Amino acid sequence: MAEDPQTFSRKNTHLGASFSDSVFTVLSLNRQQPIAPMPLDYPESFRELVRQFRRLPGIGPRSAERIALWLLRSPDAKSEQLLASIARARETLRTCRACGFFAEQEECMICRDEARAGRELCVVESATDILPLEKTGVFRGRYHALGGKLSPLDGVGPEQLRIAELLQRVGEERPSEVILALGVDVEGEATAHYLAELLAPGGIHVTRIAQGLPAGGGVEHADQITLHRALANRGVYGNGIPNGKTFGQG
C-alpha cells in the first residue's frame, strides 16, 4: 500500500518528534492559507548604498533610494565624476587661516583682496553666514567667523571660539569699524555684548547690524520685541536706503 503523503512528510521532518508533530498538525489545519513569504528587498550591496545616502543631512529613505537608483542607472562617468569631486574637495578645501571661510589656499579670496584691507570687519557666527552677507552687494570689507556663539550651558566659552584670533586681527589690521552680525537669540546677544566689551578699550568703532521687520513682513504681524527694536533702530529714509549709509563713506 502506498504511503500517505502526510505520513511521509511527517517521517521526514528533521525537527524534534513532538514539536514537529504539533507544527505539522497546525500546518495541516491551515493548509488552505499560504505561509507568508519573506518580504522581498533589494540586494545587500544596494541597501548598503541607500544606508550611506541616508546618513547625509536632509535625505530621507525615499530620496536615498532615488539617488542610489539614479547613480546606478547613469553611465559610469557620472559616479566617477562624483567620487572625484568629493575626493578633490576633501583634499583641496581648507579653512582660511584669517577669517575661517572656505579656501583653497592658506587665505580665502576675500582676505587676499587688498582692496578690502583696513575697511570694515564683519564678525559672524559661522563661515556659512559670509556668503549671504556678501551677496547683498553692499559690504566691501572683510569677515571673521567665530565658529559658534557663547553658550556656557553647551560648554562653549570664549576659548572654544575664534575670539583670540579676532583680537589679534583687529590689532594688526586696524579695521575702520567692527560690525557684529550675530543672531538675536540669547547666545547671540551674549556674544555681541562680550565682544563689544573686549573691543572697547582698543578704541575700535563697534557697531551691530540693525534688527527690525523682515522683508515682506507687515507691522500688524510682528511681535513686540521685533517692533521695539525696529523703532529703536529707525533711521533717516532717503534714496530707498534707510539711514542713507553706504560702506566706506563714514
Residues that bind Zn ion (CB under 5 A): 96, 98-99, 101, 108, 111
What is the rounded CA–CA span in Å between residue 97 and residue 89? 17
Q: By C-beta, is 108 or 150 nearer to Zn ion? A: 108
Task: Give the chain's radius of gyration (CA, Å).
Answer: 32
Nearer to Zn ion, 171 or 244 (CB): 171
Amino acid letter, 132: P
CB of 101 to Zn ion, least distance (A): 5
Q: Are 177 and 207 in contact (CB under 8 A)?
A: yes
- Answer left, alpha or beta for residue 74, where phi above 0 means left and psi between -120 and 50 means alpha: beta
The string of DSSP letters for 223-249 reads -HHHHHHHHHT---EETTEETT--TT-
Minimum Å gap between C-beta 143 and Zn ion is 7
We find the least distance from the C-beta atom of residue 123 to Zn ion, in angstroms, to be: 13
Q: Residue 233 in contact with residue 161, Cβ under 8 Å?
A: no
Nearest distance, CB of residue 57 and Zn ion, angstroms: 25
Task: Return the number of the residue (64 or 146) whose C-beta is nearest Zn ion.
Answer: 146
Contact criterion met (CB below 8 Å) for 139 and 122? yes
> Measured from the CB atom, is 95 or 233 closer to Zn ion?
95
Torsion over CA: 143, 144, 147, 151 (sign): negative
Closest distance between Zn ion and the C-beta of residue 100, in Å?
Answer: 7
Residue closer to Zn ion by CB (options 100, 188) is 100
